[in-house]
Amino acid sequence: MIRPILIHPDPRLKKACDPVTDITEEVKRLAEDMLETMYAAPGIGLAAPQVGVTRRVLVMDCIKDGPPEPMVLINPQTVWASEDVSTYEEGCLSIPDQYAEVKRPSAVTVRWTGLDGAEEERTFGGLWATCVQHEMDHLDGKLFIDYLGPLKRQMITRKMEKLKRERARAI
């Protein structure tokens, strides 16, 4: 089922998430719901804290045109990051309609556990690299606005607080 996406500022988006100890039916249902929620947004990635679950689970599908390639990463860890960096204008489903340039390593090697319990490792480049790092930051309570200067970050936070007030009134 599609789950509501938390909007910044929210304490659950700033928490360091807990590792998944065993892959229960509940974790499988969470991953399924996260993929459904991500596609509906639409987005190309989503981390569990964004739907209020502070567990180390993220989903991704950065394929634009072509058959979808949904990925579920449980307890992901970066094992290598390239020296050279790429700049990408990032957005975030928890910070709607705000975009800013963020510099990140152009390529990263990530190790994780799949839904089937198997250990996986893959090197990501391009938009996949940006996306997986953006999602893994979420698992550590870090948002892309944390890479911006204090004034720009504060301006965006104020806009989100206003948006939340308006949404609360609309209900």
3-class DSSP state of 152: helix
Q: Which does 131 bind (CB under 5 to 8 A by kind): ligand K2U, Zn ion, none?
A: ligand K2U
Q: Does 134 bind ligand K2U (CB under 6 A)?
A: yes
Q: Does 49 bind ligand K2U (CB under 6 A)?
A: no
Catalytic residue, chosen from 83, 135, 161, 166, is 135
Nearer to ligand K2U, 13 or 27 (CB): 13
Nearer to Zn ion, 111 or 142 (CB): 142
Phi then psi for residue 154, to 5 deg, are -65, -40
Establish whether 135 is a catalytic residue. yes
**Of the residues 34, 57, 72, 92, which one makes contact with ligand K2U according to CB under 6 A:** 92
Q: Does 131 bind ligand K2U (CB under 6 A)?
A: yes
Our measurement of the distance from residue 86's CA atom to the centroid of its chain's CA atoms, rounded to an integer in Å, reads 18
**Of the residues 17, 27, 30, 44, which one makes contact with ligand K2U according to CB under 6 A:** 44
**Of the residues 7, 13, 30, 43, which one makes contact with ligand K2U according to CB under 6 A:** 43
51-88: string of b/e by CB count within 10 Å (b at 16+)? bebbbbbbbbbbeeeeeeeebbbbbbeeeebeeeebeb
Q: Does 92 bind Zn ion (CB under 5 A)?
A: yes
Contact (Cβ atoms closer than 8 angstroms) between residue 90 and residue 144: yes
Cα–Cα dist 72/24, whole Å: 14
Tally of CB atoms within 10 A around 152: 13
Q: Does 137 bind ligand K2U (CB under 6 A)?
A: no
Q: Does 106 bind ligand K2U (CB under 6 A)?
A: no
3-class DSSP state of 129: helix
Contact (Cβ atoms closer than 8 angstroms) between residue 63 and residue 39: no
Binding range to ligand K2U, per CB under 6 A, among 7-15, 26-34, 84-92, 103-111: 84-92
Q: Where on the chain is the footprint of Zn ion (CB under 5 A)? A: 92
List residues with catalytic annotation. 135
